[in-house]
């Protein structure tokens, strides 16, 4: 497994965490209109909100270079996993200059 594959796996996991949070919030809205007497939707809101927050924070600041352990922020590095339309895939870490095509350390 290369460094790029490891980082893209982390990005996809964070994206799926945030997406599942949004789906749970929407399910809470749908259930709230059908199940009026029971406050089941509040559980969906709480769990969905936490998942959305964790996924967003992880995606924005939690993806780290496995070699130097610095955070790869989206303003610095475009990994090409979510923002495909931007400049292109990064070739190296801006901090330690580790090549993302090299094998994991």
pLDDT per position as a tens digit, 84-98 = 444 456 778 878 888
- Say yes or no to pLDDT of 79 above 60: no
Q: What is the pLDDT of residue 84?
A: 42
Please state the three-class secondary structure of 1-52 as a single string: CEHHHHHHHHHHHHHHHHHHHHHHHHHHHHHHHHCCCCCHHHHHHHHHHHHH
**What is the average per-residue pLDDT within 40-62?**
88
Q: Structural domain of residue 49, as residue ranges?
A: 1-105
Per the structure, the count of domains in the chain is: 1
- Residues 73, 36: Cα–Cα separation, whole Å: 42
Residue 38 makes CB contacts below 8 A (sequence gap 6+) with none
How large a percentage of the chain has pLDDT more than 70?
82
The mean of the pLDDT values for the chain is 80
pTM of this structure: 0.76
């Amino acid at each position: 497994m290369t460094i790029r594959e490891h980082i893209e796996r982390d990005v996809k996991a964070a994206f799926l965490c945030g997406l599942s949070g949004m789906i749970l919030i929407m399910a809470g809205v749908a259930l709230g209109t059908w199940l009026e007497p029971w406050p089941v939707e509040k559980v969906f809101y709480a769990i969905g909100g936490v998942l959305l927050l964790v996924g967003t924070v992880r995606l924005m600041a939690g993806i780290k270079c496995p070699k130097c352990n610095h955070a790869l922020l989206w303003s610095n590095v475009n990994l090409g996993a979510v923002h495909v339309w931007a400049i292109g895939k990064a070739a190296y870490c801006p901090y330690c200059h580790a090549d993302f095509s090299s094998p994991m350390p």
